[in-house]
Structure 1
Amino acid sequence: MKNANTNRIFKSEKKNPADRADQATLAARAINEQEAVAREKKTARLKQLRLEKEAAEAANAPAEPEKKRKLQKRK
């Protein structure tokens, strides 16, 4: 009697291949989501740095650009 109960307890059931596919899909989606969040965070940080750099360059730029001289034509 004990032997029948232990066989049922320790006997592994056949796993459905769809379950494994679902696990793989969920894992892949989680990884893609993490990468997308990291990419968006990096993009926002770089955009902020670029805007700060452009503002600093605009503040340090000369008020009026130098006027170009007109070249005389040779005769």
Structure 2
Amino acid sequence: MVKLTKKNVFKAYDAKPETPMDKTTRIVRTMVDEEAEERQAKITRLRKARLEREANTPPGTTAQ
């Protein structure tokens, strides 16, 4: 019978190298995520400015 050791029971698998397609996907996802964060920050800033402007506008005055 074969004696079980860490070397023959648990085989170490090397991670497969990153393919050009994987690299492109990773970079594009990073870019898209960064753009989404910037867009969300802009939306939040503009919403806050609009709410402040509406709060400072006297009632009965319509700003169009």
TM-score of the superposition, structure 2-length normalised?
A: 0.63
Identical aligned pairs, as a percentage?
A: 9
Structure 2 gap ranges (5+):
1-17
Q: Of Structure 1 and Structure 2, which has the larger fraction of its residues in helix?
A: 1
Structure 1 gap ranges (5+):
1-21, 67-75
The answer for the alignment partner of 1:40 in structure 2 is 36
Bigger Rg over Cα: 1
In 2, distance between residues paired with 1:56 and 1:65? 15
Q: Which runs of 4+ in 1 moved over 2 A?
A: none
Cα-Cα RMSD: 1.7
In 2, distance between residues paired with 1:65 and 1:44? 30
TM-score of the superposition, structure 1-length normalised?
A: 0.54
Instruction: Count residues in correspondence.
Output: 45
